Amino acid sequence: MRGSGILLPISSLPSPYGVGDLGIWAYRFIDFLRGSGQCFWQILPFGPTDPFLDNSPYSSPSAFAGNFLFVSLEDLLQKGLLERKDLQGVPPFREGFCDYERSADFKKKLLEKAWVSFKGSKTPGWERFLEENQNWLESWCAFKVLKDRFEGKPWYMWPKEFKEFNPKVVERIKEEFEDLFFKEAFIQFTFFSQWERVKRYAEEKGILIIGDLPLYVTHDSCDVWANRHLFELDSEGMPLFVAGVPPDYFSSKGQRWGNPLYRWEALKEEGYRWWIERIRHNLKYFHVLRLDHFRGFAGYWAIPFGSEDAQQGKWRKGPGRDFFEALRKRFYVLPFVAEDLGIITPDVRELMAEFGFPGMKVLQFAFGDDFPKSPYLPHNFTPNCFAYTGTHDNNTLLGWFEEELSPEGKQRVFKYLGKRPHREGLVWEMIRLLMASVAQAVIVPMQDVLGLPSSARLNIPSSSKGNWRWRLKTSDLRSDLMEVLKEMSFLYGRAL
């Protein structure tokens, strides 16, 4: 399918409550996509986030759960679980900025009130949700209750009777803390019910949603706590090696992410059960999945746990073909996009080619010393790729051009464009390059559609503070932008 779309995290949607959510602006954004001829809405992982980890969507305490911050309070009001007065006295949240901390404080109180109103009701779908999601939901609810009981300490610092996971621990928590346990289940039921309605609305408008699946999970997560045997941990639950990447474009010392590594042999012995459940869960909620750090399936960088940075790591062989064959036997199609950026070796290319996964082309990488032979230049694209002006890890296109690109690089841009556009026109000329290319899909971050500078950047890799804060303003979904996008999408055969 030839098409184009926009990258915008749920957190970056407008909302009166400090962080984007699944309220009215999720639907208005879909209307914007439809009106501008787009086919895709790409989001970032929508799992719970941790303030201690800068609320990064790639550092979640669960690979399955949804983020309570994204729950629409207006929807709870319409269902009679909240009263109008509950939504009065909202703190003065700053427009265009994610205030995770104050939003969390505000929403937690109202979700507790909604749970009190919900308890004992015969709500359609509640019992079915508990049954269909039992494999991850019950361990998540128990994990959350224990987290609160032990004042936020990581699971590997809990008393031994709780640190050592087994089903009896979950049953004990379910019985002793029944109300708290099912409150967490209610939050997940609410989140996924709201998301399913958003997804259905997108489908009605002809929009496909691209989800994002991180390869690794966080050490202090329900997933590692409940599946210790699937990760490289010592007897105390601490990692032996952690994930990351060697020195590259983003960092001269590489990136030490800190996630525990999988015991791929143990996963294989179980028929990759945990991964299959994870993929099934995600394919229920997304039409396409971007596999973050895809090269880790072919080979991954293993860093000794005590290392300060990523330079001491070594390459190891990943599960490769065997893993994807197991997935192919379970699923009718594998609608994956492989994030194949960074150091890519032949085995990665072979894996992608065998299973037909499209890769990614990022235009910001195209104007270096390998110009004009760079694989990221549109004339070198092959059709089976998703082309981006930039990703969540890049500067905005304007910020990149003005602050990061060398004088030689700027000259290459002008040479490639065949013109020297003014500041306001530069971004649209770059978007046009991708739209006119043979790429199967073109995805543009919303900040680039708006032509914003580096102050709107979403994330700086290897930095741990101040990221994931940019948010769309209500005035940004302008009709003139819709018209420009629509015209360009129709011109290059990408419109709905």
Active site residue 75: no
Write the DSSP assignment of 93-126 as a string of letters. Answer: PPTTB--HHHHHHHHHHHHHHHHHHHTT---TTH
Encoded amino acid at 351, one letter: L
Cα separation, 353 vs 1, in Å, equals 18
Asked if residues 365 and 249 have their Cβ atoms less than 8 Å apart, the reply is: yes
Partners of 212 in beta bridges: 290
Task: Report the Cα 465 to chain-centroid distance in Å.
Answer: 18
Cα separation, 374 vs 430, in Å, equals 16
Pick the catalytic residue: 184, 223, 292, 448?
Answer: 292
Q: Which residue has the tokens 């992982």?
A: 45
φ, ψ for residue 101 (rounded to 5)? -65, -55
Active site residue 184: no
Asked if residues 416 and 377 have their Cβ atoms less than 8 Å apart, the reply is: yes
Partners of 6 in beta bridges: 41, 444
Active site residue 393: yes
Task: Report the Cα 59 to chain-centroid distance in Å.
Answer: 10
Pick the catalytic residue: 196, 232, 347, 393?
Answer: 393
φ, ψ for residue 3 (rounded to 5)? -165, -175
Pick the catalytic residue: 75, 212, 220, 339?
Answer: 339
Cα separation, 384 vs 35, in Å, equals 26
Name the strands in the sheet holding 208-213, side by side, starting at the edge strand that comes first in the sequence: 336-338, 288-291, 208-213, 40-42, 3-7, 441-445, 385-388, 359-362
Interhelix angle 479-491/24-35, rounded to 10 degrees, is 40
Helical (H) or strand (E) element with 244: strand 241-245
Which residues are identified as catalytic?
Answer: 292, 339, 393
